[in-house]
Amino acid sequence: MSDAENPDGASEFREDEPTDSAEEFEPIEVFPESESMDLRPGSDDCYKCSTCDTSCPVAAVDDEFPGPKFQGPEQWRLKRKDDRDIDESVMSCSNCMRCDSACPSDVPLSQMHNTARGSFVDEQMDKLSREYVRNRILSNYRTLAALGSKVPRLTNFVMGLGVTKLFNEKVLGITSEREFPEFATETFREWWEKRGGPNVERDDKRVAYFHGCYSNYNTPEVGKAMVRVFEAFGYEVLVPPQKCSGTPMFANGMLDDAERAAETNVAELAAAIEGGADVIASCTSCSLSLRQEYPELFDFEGTASVAANTYEALEYLRVHEDLEGALADAEVDDAAFAYHAPCHARNQGLDGQAVELLDALEGANAEDVGDSCSGISGTYGWKEEKYDVSMEIGAEMFDHMEAADAETGLTECPTCAMQMEHGTGYEIRHPLQVIEEAVVGADAA
């Protein structure tokens, strides 16, 4: 638990230097007292085609949500300096970021939503409201998880109790329909320390692993698979101290929390990059956060370097190693999967990757269950009032999973995996685990 031992400097929140970007076309802090960015110039790119609206999974099922075009460029453009009211519907955006990939004209939609949501939470949301408290708890899953995983068996037991779920739903507004993810009895970092760190050491092939919260506390087998696969390709793996990537915080407008976490992450990862490493993530929301949301929302030293040097695990191997060749030489037994591409993987252009890779692997097959959103969008589907919408969005994926010729699910995103499991009862795996079986061997785990 190195980061728990590390009394982080992040709490000493640093006031931003006055931005010095007059020559740049960059959003800047325009309303100093509210610390919000002026994204009105982002509306310059919008030509009103509404493509973003057609790709929004929330607008498709939630009649109160007006869609990303209104929520983004239109709302921003209508704003005057003294206008403070953000339409509350911004809280219904699940931050799936599909609008970003949809827009044919480069409008910074999710950045607009994230920023508007941040202002809404800061200025218009009652800090004592149940919704605020609940969102704060959900977005700080890592804090919860860090506590819970100290006594995982007890926590798992308590979280599973009906009375706990009732409390969560009635008092906090966390749906009782979902099973809380189980905490692993040994976290990834505990395993890593016990193992004594890396098995391979070399300075010309080095990666820093951003495992994120979920691989650490809940599915350490994914993290272990990452380590073993990369070591099999001759990489030295570093595991720097890290905090939550911020994904759940962005989605809930908790930008201060996100900024504190990001500051630590950027500092640690930038240092690793200085030391010759590239950054690897196994969770596609974590990699998206490091690559896109950090540079859009924060301006720490090293942010751009981290963004430019971060990769999803398999993407990295595909570019730098002959991964498909290695898979073509391997074989696994009877591995058929119903694969769902997470929205955040889609956003990084990775939605076809798992299917393409498993195509090359004898015995394996991944059937893409379509381009719909799983509907959970991180913390969104955990909210009592969003649960039904979340399941409605997911319905198409569930149907396609059932129709696929496979009884196991496959995805890169831990919360998509929860939703897939919740909707179908399938066991869900991460592509890294399949690759591990192929290139390291089934007995390695």
Partner 1 sequence: MAIEDDVAVVGGGIAGMTAALAAAREGATVRVISHKDSTLRSASGLVDVLGYPPRSGGSSGDSDASESPAGDAGPLADPFEAIPDLPEDHPYTAVGLEGVRAALSLFDEAVDGYRGGHTDRNALVPTHGGTVKPTARYPASVAPGLASDPRETLLVGFETVTDFDAPLAADHLRAAGVPFEVRGVTVRFPGAFRADARVTRLADALDADERLEAGDDPSGVSTSLPARGALAAVVKPRLGDAERVGFPAVLGRHETPSIRADLEAELGAAVFEVPTGPPSLPGMRLEGALRGACRDAGVRFTTGDPVAGYETGADGEIAALRVERNGAAIPFHAESVVLATGGLVGKGVDSDRESVREPVFDCHVPHPADRYEWFDDDAFGDHAFARFGVATDGDLRPLDARGDPEHANLRAAGGVLGGYDFAAEKSGAGVSLATGRAAGRAAARQVSDS
Partner 2 sequence: MTDTEVVVVGGGSTGCGVARDLAMRGLDVTLVEKGNLTHGTTGRMHGLLHSGGRYAVSDQSSARECIAENRVLREIAGHCVEMTGGQFVQLEGDPDEYFEEKLAGCRECGIPAEVLTGQQARAEEPYLTDDVKRSIRVPDGAVDPFRLCVANAASAERHGARIETHAEVVDVLADGDDVFGVQVRHDSGPGKREHARTGERERITAEYVVNATGAWAGQIGELAGVDVAVRPSKGAMVVMNCRQVDTVVNRCRPKGDADIVVPHETTAILGTTDVEVEDPEDYSEERWEVDLMIDELSALVPILREARTVRSFWGVRPLYEPPGTGTRDPTDITRDYFLLDHAERDDLSGFASIVGGKFTTYRLMAEEIADHVCAELGVSASCRTADEPLPGSEDFTVLREYMDEFGLRSPVGRRSVQRLGSRADEVLSTDGPNPVLCDCEAVTRAEVRDAIDQSGTDLNAVRIRTRASMGNCQGGLCCHRMAAELHPEYGEPQARAALDELFEERWKGERHALWGEQLSQAALTYALHATTMNRDRDPADGASVEYAAFDAGGADGD
Task: Identify which of residues 20 and 333 has a Cβ nearer to partner 2 in the complex.
Answer: 20
Residue 407 binds to partner 2 (criterion: CB under 8 A): no
Other beta carbons within 10 Å of 16: 13
308 touches, from partner 1, partner 2, none (C-beta below 5 to 8 Å by class): partner 1
Task: Identify which of residues 70 and 337 has a Cβ nearer to partner 2 in the complex.
Answer: 70
Q: What is the CA radius of gyration of the chain?
A: 21
- Beta-carbon contacts of 295 under 8 Å, excluding residues fewer than 6 positions away, are 303, 304, 307
Residue 35 binds to partner 2 (criterion: CB under 8 A): no
Whole-number Å distance between alpha carbons of 254 and 419: 23
Residue 29 binds to partner 2 (criterion: CB under 8 A): yes
310 touches, from partner 1, partner 2, none (C-beta below 5 to 8 Å by class): partner 1
Torsion of CA 140, 146, 148, 150, to 10 degrees: -170
388 touches, from partner 2, partner 1, none (C-beta below 5 to 8 Å by class): none
Of these, 77, 136, 320, 400, which contacts partner 1 (CB under 8 A)?
A: 320
Residue 411, both tokens: 């995805």
Residue 301 binds to partner 1 (criterion: CB under 8 A): no
Provide φ and ψ at 312, rounded to 5°: -75, 150
Of these, 36, 56, 58, 70, which contacts partner 2 (CB under 8 A)?
A: 70
Whole-number Å distance between alpha carbons of 125 and 116: 12
87 touches, from partner 1, partner 2, none (C-beta below 5 to 8 Å by class): partner 2
Residue 237, both tokens: 């793996």
Q: How far is the CB of 368 from partner 1 (least distance, A)?
A: 8
Q: How far is the CB of 121 from partner 2 (least distance, A)?
A: 16
Residue 218, both tokens: 């809940």
Whole-number Å distance between alpha carbons of 105 and 226: 36
DSSP 223-274: HHHHHHHHHHTTPEEE-------SHHHHHTT-HHHHHHHHHHHHHHHHHHHH
Site string for partner 1, 346-385 (x = CB under 8 A): xxxx-xx---x-----------------------------
Query: Which residue, among 427, 279, 280, 436, has the nearest Cα to 358 in the 3D structure?
Result: 436
Whole-number Å distance between alpha carbons of 209 and 226: 8
Of these, 29, 35, 38, 53, which contacts partner 1 (CB under 8 A)?
A: 53
Whole-number Å distance between alpha carbons of 261 and 269: 12
Residue 30: strand, helix, or coil: strand
Identity of the residue numbered 189: R
79 touches, from partner 2, partner 1, none (C-beta below 5 to 8 Å by class): partner 2
Whole-number Å distance between alpha carbons of 185 and 181: 12
Q: How far is the CB of 43 from partner 2 (least distance, A)?
A: 5
Q: Select the span of 3-11, 156-164, 288-296, 435-443 touching partner 1 (CB under 8 A).
A: 288-296
Of these, 30, 144, 304, 336, which contacts partner 1 (CB under 8 A)?
A: 304
Identity of the residue numbered 353: Q
Of these, 21, 34, 49, 275, which contacts partner 1 (CB under 8 A)?
A: 49
163 touches, from partner 1, partner 2, none (C-beta below 5 to 8 Å by class): none
N-terminal to C-terminal alpha carbon distance within the chain: 22
Number of residues that bind partner 1 (CB under 8 A): 46
Residue 205 binds to partner 1 (criterion: CB under 8 A): no
Residue 102 binds to partner 2 (criterion: CB under 8 A): no
Instruction: Kindly state the DSSP code that residue 87 receives in the 8-state scheme.
Output: P
> Are the C-beta atoms of residues 430 and 353 closer than 8 Å to each other?
no
Q: Which residues bind partner 2 (CB under 8 A)?
A: 18-20, 22-23, 25, 28-30, 32, 38, 40-41, 43-49, 66, 69-70, 74-81, 83, 85-89, 105
Q: Which residues bind partner 1 (CB under 8 A)?
A: 47-51, 53-55, 59-61, 63-64, 66-67, 70, 100-106, 291-292, 295, 304, 307-311, 315, 318-322, 325, 346-349, 351-352, 356
